[in-house]
Amino acid sequence: MSGFTSKGLMVLFFLVFLVMCPTFDICDAGRGWDWRAGDKGQSGGGLSPTSPSQSREPKSRLILSSTPKPKPQPSPSPGPPALHGTTFDVLDFGAKGDGITDDTKAFQAAWAAACKVEASKIIVPSKYEFLVGPISFDGPNCGDNIVFELDGEIIAPTDPKPWGSGLLQWLEFKKLRGLTIRGKGIIEGHGNAWWSNKSQFDDDAQPSNELSGKMPNVRPTALRFYGSNNVTVTGITIQNSPQFHLKFDSCEAVEVSDIVVSSPGDSPNTDGIHLQNSVDVSIHDVDLGCGDDCISIQTGCSNVFLHNINCGPGHGISIGGLGKDDTEATVSNITVQDANIKNTMTGVRIKTWQGGSGYAKNIRFENVIVSGVQTPIIIDQFYCDRSRCKNQSSAVALSEITYEGIKGTYTYQPVHLACSDSVPCSNIHLNDIELKLLNEDEHAYEPFCWQAYGELQGPTEPPINCLQSEKTKINQMHSDQGSN
């Protein structure tokens, strides 16, 4: 009997819902019900079953005031409603999306609900601007394959308060299996609140009095994934991050495609995509412009495939700095293919600190077009971003590095291969290199090599005569041993 009663209630609830909703599309009773099912047991979840329609009322008006048409559903939820593939719209959890109200709690509540359901979908609808503070979308006890459908805009607070004494990231996804972020939405970090040191000293610099307080010294990464696998990020734009835009740390099986990263060329440390301890990564068809490395590959990365990359402004595509503070680095199987690099500091770069150990090997740069790049091809084993670094003999060993089809224009030096004295670079292959000075009237430097061994597999423009053959290295080692 009690079974019948609850079924009756369900039907009643469903009917009430239909009556209350002007159209099925806007109200989406199925989703409301699914949300309620997913919300069970959530502490402090004070929303009643009818709250979806209630919370939707003011929002519909908000939409009507800015645009004549009611919001279309981003995509109809496919298949029958069930505890699989359920959708959770942040608006149903109290998010206002007016760009002023703090929607952090609504996002937390939407996540708490979606987390419980395998293949659930969080909807961040278009035409809204959600002000969201630092937030962590945490596993590991979430369902697999959650989709974060981002069509609206998420903006970071420019008020120092939510950042406390400083946080390493703003939006974090942690310990998840099969997470997808997709859509046409924007993640706006409002980095100018952090970059400009003007605002801290010059009261007239910014009209906003939100900036009267000082942002902490630690600047956050905009979007970070940690300890997750089968992660997909596609379609979105990430812009003006206070620090790195998109970071993967300890992730496996990552695919990033069709995204845009955008921040000014002089914004500090605003790497586009930063990879660390991550394996099986594919990044393709991306457009990255920022104030630091477009893509940066750090220790612990292997099997990374970068394809169809647009980069600039920025510092180019970099492996490293590896071996900082005498650490061990392990990097292998990195391929960069079909990249367009424009007006950057370097093109393709490997940088290591003195004193490090370990290796970076089997690295391939293929079909890279540079325009107005200061130094297109660079290995720097004396990397130091402090005022001075002490000379040390140990180094990260670099080997099996191929440059093939690197063409275009440079403004400073075409090739710079500065390898460690004690651990020379080995098996460097250069083929089909055509680099011209952008402005013939400017002064430029010749190709430079130091302790760089390998071979030219054909003529290069300009000639790179400084690369030493592996044979001379072997002979040298023999003569060194002979003299001992």
Ligand X SMILES: *[C@@H]1O[C@H](CO)[C@@H](O)[C@H](O)[C@H]1NC(C)=O
Interface residue with ligand X among 197, 439, 469, 475 (CB under 6 A) is 197
Closer by beta carbon to ligand X, 60 or else 230: 230
Per rule CB under 6 A, count of chain residues that contact ligand X:
13
Closer by beta carbon to ligand X, 51 or else 270: 270
- 216 preceded by cis ω (within 30°)? no
Count of other CB atoms within 10 angstroms of residue 30: 18
253 in contact with ligand X (CB under 6 A): yes
**Distances in Å between the alpha carbon of 281 and those of 70, 232, 262, 372?**
39, 10, 21, 29
| Minimum separation from the CB atom of position 356 to ligand X (A) | 16
257-296 positions binding ligand X, by CB under 6 A? 268
For 101-156, give the DSSP string.
Answer: EE-HHHHHHHHHHHHTSTT-EEEE-TT-EEE--SEEEE-SSSPSS-EEEE-SEEE-
Query: How far apart are the C-alpha atoms of 234 and 420, rounded to whole Å?
Result: 39
| Minimum separation from the CB atom of position 298 to ligand X (A) | 15
303 in contact with ligand X (CB under 6 A): yes
Interface residue with ligand X among 42, 104, 327, 333 (CB under 6 A) is 333
360-389 positions binding ligand X, by CB under 6 A? 362
Query: How far apart are the C-alpha atoms of 86 and 117, rounded to whole Å?
Result: 7
Closer by beta carbon to ligand X, 253 or else 456: 253
335 in contact with ligand X (CB under 6 A): no
| Minimum separation from the CB atom of position 252 to ligand X (A) | 4
Token reading at 78: 């496919």
Token reading at 448: 């430079």
Token reading at 370: 């540079």
| Minimum separation from the CB atom of position 196 to ligand X (A) | 7
Closer by beta carbon to ligand X, 132 or else 397: 397
Query: How far apart are the C-alpha atoms of 355 and 384, rounded to whole Å?
Result: 11
| Minimum separation from the CB atom of position 230 to ligand X (A) | 4
Query: How far apart are the C-alpha atoms of 225 and 87, rounded to whole Å?
Result: 22
302 in contact with ligand X (CB under 6 A): yes
**Interior angle at CA 7, CA 14 and CA 36, nearest 5:** 55
Interface residue with ligand X among 390, 441, 443, 482 (CB under 6 A) is 390
Closer by beta carbon to ligand X, 161 or else 390: 390
| Minimum separation from the CB atom of position 297 to ligand X (A) | 13
Count of other CB atoms within 10 angstroms of residue 12: 10
Closer by beta carbon to ligand X, 209 or else 391: 391
Closer by beta carbon to ligand X, 40 or else 390: 390
340 in contact with ligand X (CB under 6 A): no
Positions annotated as catalytic residues are 292, 315
Interface residue with ligand X among 159, 210, 252, 328 (CB under 6 A) is 252
**Site string (201-240) toward ligand X, x via CB under 6 A:** ----------------------------xx----------
**Interior angle at CA 24, CA 19 and CA 27, nearest 5:** 80
The residue written with tokens 């979007």 in the block is 223
**Interior angle at CA 186, CA 180 and CA 191, nearest 5:** 115
Q: Which residues bind ligand X (CB under 6 A)?
A: 197, 229-230, 252-253, 268, 302-303, 332-333, 362, 390-391
